[in-house]
Structure 1
Amino acid sequence: MSGFDAGVARAENVWYRSYPFWDAYFALVLVGTIAATAADGLPPGRKAAAVMLLVLLGVAYAAVGRKALRSREERRPGCRLYAAALVLMFVPATLLAPVTSTGLAALAPQVYMVYGTARGFVLMVVLFSGAIGSTMVASGAGVTLTLVMMLVAVACSGLLATFIGRLSAQNRERARLIDELDRTRGELAEVSREAGVLAERERLARDIHDTIAQGFTGIVMLVQAAEAEVGPNRHLELVARTARENLAETRGLVAALAPPALARGSLVEALRRLAADFALPVDMDVEGEQRPLGPAVEVVLLRVAQETLANVRKHAGATSVRMSLVYGRDAVRLTVADDGRGFDPEAVASGFGLRGMRGRVEQAGGDLAVRGGAGEGAVVEAVLPCSA
């Protein structure tokens, strides 16, 4: 079996798959006990009564006990009725024919599986009473020997109860862990799916902006240059208008593919929501005239802020964070600084997070700077042109 499959692990659960073996074991012990009772040199009336009680016990197991044994409910259906059947059928059978006490070999594990350790122990003491009482009468044993037999039987029953109780607890814990694994795998699959969708949307938006949108912008500029040389021309005006209309449609498509955080408002609002939801206090500062920067630039700045805050949470050991967004005339600068333990930027330059941020920023025509030192915190600064 390659990998871990929760369904297969659950199917291979020894506890639940062992039920047919318990049925077969109980049937074999019961048949053997009936045969031993029939062959015992007892008066025919007592022998027949004991055999009849054992047969009725088998019927009670098939009708009620088997279902109670297999139930996974906290209150097993029919368990009280089956307990009454055990006491009213097995105890008299052992009083009539002491050899029937061999049936305890099958009843003991069954009782603890159905009733648990505490209630099962009490029920087993009752079931032992008939066997010990009949043995005491048949052998003429004294009180001391009877007490010793009782203590030995109770001790053996207690050991069996401990073993089956631990096995049952281990089984329940295993079932809980498997259910928890199922839920975790489902949550991870959903998160992975959403992350994949967002990543694909962002890639499409970036590709459309870098190819089709830039192409339409180039066409508009070429048409404007051609009009400057040849003068007004109906065909050139039609080309320019068509290019502008398609450029507007392309920009709308890029905006629609932007991250949901940007779809619900401006870049500043998205950064403020990101800061408010962060695990540490974030001091957010905005300078300059706020204006749209274009989907490509805003997406890159948002991703840089998200990745930087994620690194602060995982590695910095900081108590607070400062984030600033400065709108300049030709460029915009995002700075994220923390008061954590700091690090050597050169030592982690090959890390995937920093490499990914640097690649995003440089692809958008900007620069990424990382500064820090041991015990001095860290500063991540991204500068991008507003016209990107």
Structure 2
Amino acid sequence: MNGVDPVMARAEDVWYRSYPFWDAYFALVLVGTIAATAADGLPPGRQAAAILLLVLLSLAYVRVGRKALRSREERRPGCKVYAAALVLMFVPATVLAPVTSMGLAALAPQVYMVYGTARGFVLMMVLFSGAIGSAMVASGAGVTLTLMMMLVGIVCSGLLATFIGRLSAQNRERARLIEELDRTRGELAELSREAGVLAERERLARDIHDTIAQGFTSIVMLAQAAEAEVGPNRHLDLVARTARENLAETRGLVAALAPPALAEGSLAEALRRLAADFALPVDLDVEGEQRPLGPAAEVVLLRVAQESLANVRKHAGARSVWMSLEFAADAARLTIADDGRGFDPAAVASGFGLRGMRGRVEQAGGDLAVRSGAGEGAVVEVVLPCSA
């Protein structure tokens, strides 16, 4: 960027930042036109009147034209007033002093920038009329020459209108894209932040479950084993009761850190919401007697379902998905199947999120199996013990 602040580059497009150059260009052309008019050797009255009209036109630009030129509103403020000033001041000036028509070099781009292609073209034809009429009178030109001059003026004005119109359209599209990109970037940043928060909550819940909760469970079991050997003991009973109370507190923390989808209901309800929000039709079957599986196991199964559906959307080219949650006596089984193009699980062991899913499931003490083949769809099956 060579010293250009990226924030400022997004805040102001190049077209908008070029307006001071248009001001300078208009001023230079106007000063040159006034100087040429003063040196043209016209009668003093006509010369003074033409110069006065040019000065009044410059004041109209400063008071009204600049604001209309810079406005990004669909209906630019003061554009009608400025159009009237152009017609009432510039056309008579070209009639009084034909040399003032050189000011069209500055007015033509300005007119098309403010009024657009169609209206700008009509206004330019009006502004050309004074210069063409005065040239005819001064030169005694015939009809043929007059028509040729008008044709040249119309062609040049039309080409300029097309060029500036395309620049304006490109500028508007660029501004829209910048706004859309900034909005998308903000949304992505928010989604990334939320994903990071959820991932950290899940990591903390898993760490608490795998360390502190398991530790308290072990303390309870050791206290019970010691009490079975030495008989009832007040201190051992106190150790076991304290460990149970802290285990309950720890499980409460794990539940509080679980994904919001599980906080609003059971695992089956979370899967139903996930299926309803998916881009493809998803048939969900729930078999067996529904019961809580424990926060850690439910988080694992929900994450596997989310990752599997994400892979189906991105890679499978499927038309429909089938998902099953089965509650057995000592385990829970989650199956996700699609009718997509399929793949070779051995060839993409590190892709499609399989490595992350497998690690998550194995850490929870379960098993993950993937069955697929070219043109055969894919099946992801997870079995978790209920104690996980």
Same fold (TM over 0.5): yes
Name the TM-score class by shorter chain. Answer: over 0.9
> Equivalences for 1:192-207 in 2 at 5 Å?
192-207=192-207
Provide the C-alpha distance between the structure 2 equivalents of 1:84 and 1:281, rounded to a whole number of angstroms: 62
What per-residue deviation string (whole Å, max 9, x for no partner) do you get for residues 65-113 of structure 1?
A: 1111111111111110011011101111111111111111111111111
Provide the C-alpha distance between the structure 2 equivalents of 1:37 and 1:366, rounded to a whole number of angstroms: 93
Retained in 2: the 8 A contact 1:36–1:99? yes
Provide the C-alpha distance between the structure 2 equivalents of 1:118 and 1:64, rounded to a whole number of angstroms: 21
Q: What is residue 57 of structure 1 aligned with on the other side?
A: 57
Aligned AA (2:387): S
Aligned AA (2:60): A
Tell me the number of residue pairs that the alignment of Structure 1 and Structure 2 aligns.
Answer: 387
Residue 92 (structure 2) pairs with residue 89 (structure 1): no
Aligned-residue RMSD, C-alpha? 1.5
- 1:239 Cα deviation from its structure 2 partner: 1.2
Q: What is residue 243 of structure 1 aligned with on the other side?
A: 243
3-state DSSP class of the match of 1:254?
helix
Decide which moves more: 206-215 or 4-13.
Answer: 4-13
Percent of pairs identical after alignment?
Answer: 89
Q: What is residue 305 of structure 1 aligned with on the other side?
A: 305
Q: What is residue 106 of structure 2 aligned with on the other side?
A: 106
- 1:11 Cα deviation from its structure 2 partner: 4.8
Q: What is residue 380 of structure 1 aligned with on the other side?
A: 380
Provide the C-alpha distance between the structure 1 equivalents of 2:76 and 2:162, rounded to a whole number of angstroms: 20
3-state DSSP class of the match of 1:284?
strand
Residue 22 (structure 2) pairs with residue 22 (structure 1): yes
Q: CA 1:11 to 1:317, structure 2 compared with 1: closer, same or farther past 3 Å?
A: closer
Aligned AA (1:21): F
Decide which moves more: 354-363 or 262-271.
Answer: 262-271
Unmatched tracts of structure 1, length 5 or more: none
- 1:343 Cα deviation from its structure 2 partner: 1.5
Decide which moves more: 172-181 or 13-22.
Answer: 13-22
- 1:369 Cα deviation from its structure 2 partner: 0.5
Q: What is residue 342 of structure 2 aligned with on the other side?
A: 342
Retained in 2: the 8 A contact 1:6–1:182? no
3-state DSSP class of the match of 2:345?
coil
- 1:34 Cα deviation from its structure 2 partner: 0.9
Retained in 2: the 8 A contact 1:284–1:324? yes
Aligned AA (2:265): G
Retained in 2: the 8 A contact 1:98–1:135? yes
Provide the C-alpha distance between the structure 2 equivalents of 1:146 and 1:350, rounded to a whole number of angstroms: 78
Aligned AA (1:180): E
Provide the C-alpha distance between the structure 1 equivalents of 2:224 and 2:372, rounded to a whole number of angstroms: 48
Retained in 1: the 8 A contact 2:311–2:352? no
* Stretches (4+) displaced over 4 A: none
> Equivalences for 1:1-388 in 2 at 5 Å?
1=1, 7-11=7-11, 13-351=13-351, 353-388=353-388
Retained in 2: the 8 A contact 1:93–1:100? yes
Retained in 2: the 8 A contact 1:6–1:178? no
- TM-score normalised over the length of structure 2: 0.97
- 1:281 Cα deviation from its structure 2 partner: 2.3
- 1:352 Cα deviation from its structure 2 partner: 5.2
Q: CA 1:279 to 1:187, structure 2 compared with 1: closer, same or farther past 3 Å?
A: same
Q: CA 1:213 to 1:5, structure 2 compared with 1: closer, same or farther past 3 Å?
A: farther
Decide which moves more: 314-323 or 296-305.
Answer: 314-323
Q: CA 1:229 to 1:333, structure 2 compared with 1: closer, same or farther past 3 Å?
A: same
Provide the C-alpha distance between the structure 2 equivalents of 1:285 and 1:365, rounded to a whole number of angstroms: 24
Retained in 2: the 8 A contact 1:6–1:181? no
- 1:218 Cα deviation from its structure 2 partner: 0.5
Decide which moves more: 269-278 or 169-178.
Answer: 269-278
Aligned AA (1:372): S
- 1:8 Cα deviation from its structure 2 partner: 3.6
- 1:280 Cα deviation from its structure 2 partner: 2.2
- 1:272 Cα deviation from its structure 2 partner: 1.7
